[in-house]
Structure formats: structure tokens, C-alpha cells
Amino acid sequence: MEQILDVIIAKYNYWIYITLMMIGLFGVIAKNNLVKKIVGMSIFQTAIILFFVSMGMKRGATIPIVMHDHGAHGPIQAVDYINPLPHVLMLTAIVVAVSTLGVALALAVKVYKKYGTLEEDEILEQIRKS
Amino acid sequence: MTDHLPAFIVAVPLLTAFLVFALGWLRRELCFPVGLLGLGLAAWSCVGLLLEVLGSGPVTYRLGGWEAPWGIEYFVDTLNGMVLAAISVSAFIHWIWSAPAVKLQFQDRLGAIYGLQLLFVTGLLGMTITGDAFNLYVLLEIASITAYALIAMGEQRAALSSLNYVFMGTVGACFYLLGVGYLYIMTGTLNMADLARLLTGLHGSRAIQVAFVITMVGLWLKMAFFPLHGWLPNAYSHAPSPVSALIAPLMTKVMVYVMIRIDLYVFGPAYSFQKLGMDRAVVWLAVIAVIMGSIMALAQKNLKRMLTYVILVEVGYMVGGFWLGNRSGMTGAILHLLNDVFMTLGAFMAVGNLLYRLPGCSFGELRDVFSKMPFSMGALVATALSIVGVPPTCGFFSKWYLLLGALEAGQYGFLIALIFSSLISVVLFFRVFEGAFFRAQTHENAHHQPDHTMEEAPVQMVVPLLVVAAGLVALGIFSAEIVSTIVEPVIPPAFF
């Protein structure tokens, strides 16, 4: 039992992202309301963003801006700085996530105008009748 | 100037897209010629690049002059040179063809639909040309988001189908991104060539295995490989016909290309085929995809919807052929990728022509359409022959390589599935043509003189369709040259 706890605690960031991702996937697949599905999709994307951000992190490191630049106190140690690349990638991924969310919400509005409801089973009922 | 051709290919349609968006407000009648110019320039650059690659070997281009592992690198060999040329040429033909239908349906939204079409093509071209795993994700999302918007421009159920596509597509793209994240943890690079070099030492790693499987699942979701195909039929059949003729041929095929690129040039054939040992399972999945796709296509009563299931079958061919893991199978898959772009383009363009005149394209509404629209139906017959695989057309040659590959690999299940689906597609198209050849026999008709008035779609829609139909035969005739100059050099020597 303690061993399992150690494994979980040592890599807690991965466990958090997996949990969040599964919550999001559950929302996309199992929820009946279209807005809830969109929320699930958003959680799913955010989980991956958290995963990327956490992997650039280093213990005891600082923000990736080179200090002591003017005096040149010895060589720059990469260990002292957080890896900025995953964070930069995630700026792009956040923009992508926002635009997907925007398109999805716009489509939800269009669906609502057409069927007057956002519950998927009611929409399917209407389609079957017509 | 030819040094910057790779950058041109993405930059020109991108800038034209924004220009066309703006022209949609200012001078609506200029949208079409400006887009035509942009796509023409892109097609010219792609073909020029392909010729350059054929002459002097693969081209690498560093965006902004940044060195490879830090900056974004564009890499073109004959494989993606061929895909680039196929995308840009078919988008150019589609642009000319779609103008009358777009004008009819989207008179007030010309800027929006034309701009989105150009952005969609930009995303596909960028995805094909890039040599950077993360850049691929971004361009994949550009192509997907524009596809969602384009599909939602249809009527009736289009918005709902598009929303379902959004959910599935986002999950697929996120899986791909997750796989890239694992690769980045293990190697610290995103450049594909660099990844391939560093991954050779990491074949035993569990994290790489997870990365491989997650990436593949993401890509299969985007290309609608059988158990993950749920979004495709609704999205493509409810999209407006000018849009589905653009998205249906290109999106799934480019995703198949990405799978080939990732497997052969990032993970490497030694890892994908020998180390992992999942190739037989994937071929069996493809067998199920081909058979189920054929059966579901048989159950449809609408031509456009039937063709969406034919796409599922074609995806099954390509994935299965690729995972056979021998030279013939891989040749067949790559050749089929090229052929299928034009086969699907021809089929959906013909449906677009029919829908320009007819209220719908369920089998009942297609009665007597042969005498009304002989040219469109003739072209549809040509594409149908190609999809079935009749010799002078290109479909035959790629299927032949696939059959050879299945025999060599001893995958008789795939062999049977190929033959079964070919027979089913004979039945599928025969049903359509039989119905369309005879007029509806009602008692009133029997007394009236039969009217043989032709109601063909506009010339601007018929001529590009006939060009595509002729192109199918030309691709078939030149298939030996295509295989020896384009397909053979890109298959790694590990396959014999």
C-alpha cells in the first residue's frame, strides 16, 4: 500500500492530468447535454495543457530569464532554469483550444435555434419524427 | 526565388485567404479570381517543388533561417511532394468547379466560404510539408476548425453533425498532441528527423510505446478508421455539396499520409513493424473496416451518403495495405492515397453536379438522370469503374499492389476483404446506374411523348469533372512511372 502511495506521490502531476483527462472524456462521451459535452471537451484539452506545463518544471529552478548577464559570472547552468519550450508550445495550444471552444459554442447556438433544445435525446427524437 | 518555394506553398494560400475574407465585404465579385490566382500559384509551386525533388533529391527549408532542432523545418521528399501536388491540384480544380454552386447557395456569404476553403487548403498543405511534430498539430487544428465551420454551413442537420465532428476531432487531435508530449519528454526535441535519430536508442522504452499507441489512436480517429469512424458519414453527407467535394477527398487522405510519415520517418520501420508486433492486429482491424464499410454502404438509399461509406472502405484499404509491412503493400497504400484523392474528388463532384439540378440524390430521385445529365453521369461511371478497380483506370493498379502485398504477407483475410469489397462496390454502383438509366414508368408518362431535354449542370461544373475523370485514366496509364519514380524511393530499404 505504501509503495503504491509513493508511486502516486512521486509522479502526482501525471496522476492529476490523467484524472482530469478521464473526467473530460467521460463528459464528451456520456453526457446528454451538448453544453456539458463542450465543457468536457474543454476539460480534456486543459488536462493536456497541464501535462505539458508540468513537464517543463524543474525542482529548485527559476524562470527562464538569464540573470547576471552583464557581469558574466561563469557559464549558464541549464539546471537552474525551467524549460521554457513546453510553456511556449502551450501558448499556441491554448489559442487552438479557445478557437475550438468558440466554434463549438457557435454550433451549439445554431443547433439550439434549429431544434429549440440542447438535450441530445430530444434532438434525436425530433429528427426521427421528421 | 525557387529557393523559397516551400515557404510559398503555405504562405500564398494563407495570405490569399485573408485577402478573400476582406474582399467578401468590399468587392464580392473579386473573391473568385483572387482565390483562383492564389490557388493557381500554390499548385504551380507544388508541382515545381515536386519536379525539383524528383530531379535533385529531398529539399529541406528552414523557416526564418533557424537551424533545424530549434526552428521549424520544412522537409519535402517525393512522398509528400506527391501529396502536396495532389492536394493543390485538386483544390484548384475544385475551386473552378464549385463557383456556380457556391454562387447559388452562398450568395451573401461568399467571403466566408471562400476564405474558409483557402484556410482549409492552407492547413492541409502545411500539415503535409512540415517536418516538425508540434507544427503538424497546429496546422491539423487549422484544417479541422475550418472543416467544422464549412460543414456547419449546410442546412438541416449540418450543425449537429458538425458539432459531433468537433467532439471527435478534438479528442483525436488531443491524443496526437499527448503522444508528441511523451516523445518530447523522452527525447527533448520536436523535429521529425531529430526524433528519428534519437528514438533509435530508445526502442525498449515503455513511454515510447505509449506515445506510439496514443499517436496512432489520435490519427485513426481523425482519418475515420473503422471503430472510430462515427463522425464521418453524418458530417460529410449533411455538408453542402461544394464543401463535401473539397473535404471528403482531402482530409482523410492527408491523415493517412501523416500516419505513414510518423511511422516510417519518426518511429522508423524497425520500431513500427518489428519491435511492436501490432501490425497483424491492425491489418485485421482494416479487414473489419473494409467489410463493415461495404455492408453499411449497401444499406444506404442515398448516393451521397453511400459514397461517405465508400470513403471508410478506402481508408481501410490504405491503413491495411500500409500495415501489411512489405514493399508491395506499402506501394499499394501510397499509390492508392494518390488515386483515392482523385477518385473521391470525381465522385463528390459528380454528386455536386446532380444536386445542382435535382432536389436530392436518393435513389428514387435519380430516375432518368442519364438522359438529363449525360456528361455528369458519364464521369460518375468513370469514377465508379475506378473505385471498383477496372483495368484502364487507376483504381485497378493500386488494388493490384494491395492484393500482391496481402499474398506476400500471407494475410488472406485482407485478400478476401479486398475482393469482397470490390464485388460489393460493383453491386453498389450498379444499383445506382440501373435506377438512373430507366425513367419512372407511370401511366401518365406512357401517354405523353418522352421528353429528352438535357438539363446538364453549367459548363464550368461539367468540364472540370470531365478533366478529373480523364485524369483517373491517365493516372492508371502512367501508374508504372509513378511507382518507379515517386513511390519506390520513399519506401525504406528495410522492406524488400
What is the secondary structure of B396-448 as a DSSP string? HHHHHHHHHHHHHHT-HHHHHHHHHHHHHHHHHHHHHHHHHHSPP--HHHHHS
pLDDT at B40 over 70: yes
User: What is the interface pTM, i.e. ipTM, of the complex?
Assistant: 0.91
Q: Does B141 touch chain A (CB under 8 A)?
A: yes
- The Cα diameter of chain A in Å comes to 77
Q: Nearest by CB to B167, which of A41, A48, A86?
A: A41
Write down the pTM of the prediction.
0.91
CB B156 within 8 A of CB B54: no
Q: Which of A50, A79, A83, A96 to substitute to test the interface with B, most B CBs within 10 Å?
A: A96
User: Number of A:B CB contacts under 8 A?
Assistant: 67
Across residues B11-36, what is the average pLDDT? Answer: 89
How far CA B269 is from CA of B76, B176, B326, B333, in Å, comes to 19, 19, 10, 15
CB contact under 8 A, B166 and A103: yes
pLDDT tens across B250-300, in order?
999 999 999 999 988 888 888 888 887 788 888 999 999 999 999 999 888
Q: Which of B177, B185, B222 to substitute to test the interface with A, most A CBs within 10 Å?
A: B177
pLDDT tens across B215-235, in order?
999 999 998 888 888 888 888
pLDDT at A35 over 70: yes
Q: Does B184 touch chain A (CB under 8 A)?
A: yes
CB burial of residue B245 (10 Å; 0-12, 13-18, 19+):
buried
pLDDT tens across A65-118, in order?
766 655 556 667 777 788 888 888 899 999 999 999 999 999 999 999 988 888
Q: Does B162 touch chain A (CB under 8 A)?
A: yes
CB B192 within 8 A of CB B133: yes
CB contact under 8 A, B184 and A41: no
CB contact under 8 A, B170 and A45: yes
What is the gyration radius of the CA atoms in chain A, in angstroms? 22
Q: Which residue of B has its CA nearest to A53?
A: B181
Chain A residues inside the 8 Å CB shell of B183? none
CB contact under 8 A, A96 and B141: yes
pLDDT tens across B78-112, in order?
888 999 999 999 999 999 999 888 888 888 888 88
Distance (Å, whole) CA A34 – CA B458: 41
Distance (Å, whole) CA B394 – CA B387: 9
